[in-house]
Structure 1
Amino acid sequence: MSGGNGFRAWREALARSPGYKWVVVGLLFFSGFLNLEDRVVIFSVMPLIRKELMLSDLFVGALMTVFLWTYALCSPLAGFFGDRLSRQKVIVGCLTLWSLVTVAAGLAASPAQLMTTRVLLAVTEAFYIPAALALVADYHTTATRAKAVAALVIGMNLGPIVGGAGAGWIGDHYGWRPTLIVLGGAGLALALLQALFLRDIPVGTSDGAGGPAAPRVQASLGATVAEILRTPSVVAIMVAVAIFSLGAWMLITWLPLFLYESFKMNLTQSGFFGNLAITGPVFLGALGGGLLSDYVGARQPKRRMALLLGFYVLALPWPILFSVATGPAIVLGSAFLFQLCRAFGELNSHPLIFELVTPEKRSTAIGISNCLNSLCGGVGALAVGRYRESLGFQTVFGLVPIIIALVAGGLLLAYLKFLDRDLARAVQRRTNAAG
């Protein structure tokens, strides 16, 4: 047997092995790492970019807001494509394109060019998460689904921790442009690896218990979105996660710069400690939250909503503490605890949405959720840019608990009034499809 045939045979055997579902998770772990890191890396080296391109606070906020709002507009359509097309091809294609855009961002010579790359990055990255999460749901049953989703979340949030420190170090020593070029090159190499080893699986395989897989969705985008949004529990979950994104993207966009300016940290320190406080707890929350979610809710999905609500309530005090902090330890600690509670709660959202939505519409559902997350996140990033001089970053973030309280009320209403009915209807739809 030739070397090429031997490699192909080994690759086919790997794809048929029982453990291949975790190989899929491993491959998506690394593309998730780059997906979030490539969008936030410029904020780890923002002092250098601001100085070279002479950017205002409002423009810095707009860099993230334009990204998020473009991402939001593209997300429902991106999710719809993930339900209609090969999810493997969508994942590999968007990874290739956003890596090329990241390289282009490193070559930007003006504010307009930098903003253009943010728009293009948003369009290309929007296709990744819906297709990746839906592919994971097709490979993993409810027994391991939350743990698999948690692994993807860990990968995404490890990117800014490791990449934030690395970007700061490269920025301190070589400037901001090499950082973006190196990240883009790494993404192109990973895209080649995924083209070789990542495989599709029939939609709904993990839900069929050996039965026929679900057909590819045939309804129009509008009809698919309308059907998803007719489930009140899904709407409540999506809105809650989106509102928390408002606070999270305030931190992601502005905390490293706040540390650099307020506490005289260098870029390596502000990039590392800022991103550690923002994404480190999400890493821990994914580790613990995925296990907890599957342990508590694999057989009784309603309990996932209870976990989501409980941890979101626990997040309430920390923005208030952040708003009155006078030293870096309390600033970082309160941001860390806010994100930790958010992570433990949010880990329940995707597995619960997957229970409430039929398999052939899962990618679209995640696209809608990403749309709402990005719209709210963009508002948060821009609000700080608008009011940082007059009110201060800490004061603006300290107002977040007001809307968290409203979110908790909405989740409680959905839990008490709608969730049992919506879960029963979802089971009936899957039963009818299998029959």
Structure 2
Amino acid sequence: MRKKLLILLSLGWIFNYAHRMSIPPLIPIIKGEFSITNAQAGLLMTSLLLPYALIQVPAGYFGDKLGRKRLVVMSILGYSLASAFMLFARDYWHLLAVRALYGLFAGLYYAPSTALISEIYKERKGSALGIFMIGPPVGSAIAPAIAVPIALTLEWRYSFLVLSLMSATIGVALMFAIKGEVKQVERPRFQIPKNILGLSVMNFLLLAAFFGILTFLPDFFVNKGRSLEEASFYFSILSIVGIFGSIAGGTVYDKIREASLICILSFNAVLSFILVKTSYPPLVLPLGLFFYSVGPAVTAYTSEHATPENLGTVMGFVNMMGFFGATTGPYFVGFLIDKIGYEGAFYSISGMYLVSMLILAFEKIHY
């Protein structure tokens, strides 16, 4: 049962990302249709990430109180239906509204899922979360593979309808394949300890960098003279390599704990700097490996700052702060691109990784 649950939760997380990351490879088409700026294109990520962030703490607490599996099923079916509404979007404000509704339901997923996995896998939670966290790279990889061919063959809005039908099947499978609640919290507490504040700021910067890169990487390569198909291919390669990075990140964390985070953040800072300096596409291979190893390591590290009674709340709070960064990152990077170009804008991403390393080092000394 444990393995079946992990597989279904991981599939739901994959499609959670596939829906949200279908926008980046479609940005060149959407910009042309709606005549919007890079900053406005960045808001297409911000509009989903803001409600996503705001719902994190309630999702964690109510998952503990009402049932984590129940809330996860509600999330999958809700975000599938919401994303399908993209079919009816006919102006820029419609796009923002649909993305916001999607973000609200998608935000119910992470906290109860990661709390549930951390509880049932205990000392092997890093490895289990490494499997769960293949969601971002796999979802990001299949997004252009689904969205771009449909956009070029039919029309880009149908990409979201196809994804919605696929993800809804996972919600139905989770509803019927796993009977009842797997782990019920007896006395859930809405408590946020002081020792997670630095970690929360670090996660803010990490997800600002993460979504800043993901939102504009395809457009970055198009700007450097690559075709949309070629840029989408590099975007997919980054994510495919990230599958191995996610699994490795969780496994290494189980062995060397915080030291793994220091190494991961260092490589991300260096590789993102070299990529923008050289525009050399093969760099997406090593970058993808370290880029996606951050998620499981940070998630496992966060779970160690909580008790069983407030685990969902803590996971939700740290992720909420991270997604405030994710909300800010795409708009901030898009704004910098409009003002100073891609090179200067992407240098700020390397800076975010460096500051995150300093915060982690400070936290390790003082706690």
- Shared fold per TM-score greater than 0.5: yes
In structure 1, C-alpha distance between the alignment counterparts of 2:63 and 2:153, rounded to whole Å: 41
Aligned position for 1:293: 253
Contact 1:309 1:345 in 2 (8 A): no
Matching of residue 317 in structure 1 with residue 266 in structure 2: no
In structure 2, C-alpha distance between the alignment counterparts of 1:416 and 1:106, rounded to whole Å: 51
Residue aligning to 1:243: 205
Q: Is the CA contact (8 Å cut-off) linking 1:252 and 1:275 kept in structure 2?
A: no
* Aligned equivalent of 2:319, options 361, 365, 370: 370
| 1:346 CA drift (Å) | 4.0
Gaps of 5+ in 2: none
Q: Is the 8 A contact 2:200 2:318 kept in 1?
A: yes
Of 35, 44, 47, the residue aligned with 1:66 is 47
Structure 2 counterpart of 1:81: 62
Q: Which residue of 271, 278, 295 maps to 2:232?
A: 271
Aligned partner of 1:26 in structure 2 is: 7
The 2-side partners of 1:104 and 1:75 are apart by 23
More displaced, 44-53 or 368-377? 44-53
Q: Identify the residue that residue 17 of structure 1 maps to in structure 2.
A: none
Label 1:387 to 1:402 Cα distance change in 2 as closer, same or farther (>3 A).
closer
Per-residue Cα deviation, 1:261-318 (whole angstroms, up to 9, x for no partner): 432313x3322322322x2343121222222222x1xxxxxx4112112221232222
Larger radius of gyration: 1
Q: Which residue of the partner structure matches residue 101 of structure 1?
A: 82
Instruction: Note the 1:21-420 alignment, pairs <5 A.
Output: 21-142=2-123, 144-199=124-179, 200-203=181-184, 214-217=185-188, 219=189, 221=190, 224-225=191-192, 228=193, 230=194, 232=195, 234-266=196-228, 268-277=229-238, 279-294=239-254, 296=255, 303-325=256-278, 327=279, 330=280, 332-418=281-367
Stretch of structure 1 that moved more, 47-56 or 25-34: 47-56
1:422 alignment partner in structure 2: none
The offset of 1:23, in angstroms, is 0.5
2:142 counterpart SS class: helix
Tell me whether 37-46 or 20-29 shows the greater mean CA deviation: 37-46
How far, CA to CA, are the matches of 1:195 and 1:406 in structure 2? Answer: 42
Q: Which residue of 2 aligns with 1:430?
A: none
DSSP 3-state at the match of 2:227: coil
* Mapped contact 2:71–2:108 kept (Cα < 8 A): yes
Contact 1:322 1:398 survives alignment (8 Å): no
The 3 A distance-change label for structure 1 pair 404 and 187 is: closer
Over residues 324-379 of structure 1, what are the superposed CA-to-partner deviations in whole Å (9 max), with x where a residue is unaligned?
Answer: 22x4xx1x344543443343344322222222211122221121122111111222
Compute the displacement of 1:404 (Å): 2.7
Contact 2:133-2:295 within 8 A present in 1 as well: no
Distance 1:289 1:249, change over 3 A: same
Q: Which residue of 2 aligns with 1:4?
A: none
AA aligned to 1:308 is: L
Give, in whole Å, the separation in 1 of the partners of 2:354 and 2:223: 31
Matched positions, count: 366
The alpha-carbon deviation at position 37 of structure 1 amounts to 0.8
- Confirm or deny: 8 A CA contact 2:209 2:352 kept in the other structure: no
- In the TM superposition, what whole-angstrom CA distance separates every residue of 1:42-96 from its partner, at most 9, and x where no partner exists? 2222222222333332211111122222221221122221121111110111111
CA separation of 1:191/1:347 partners in 2, compared to 1, >3 Å: closer, same or farther?
closer
Q: Which amino acid aligns with 1:114?
A: L
SS in 1 for 2:113: helix
Q: 2: CA distance between counterparts of 1:60 and 1:120? A: 17
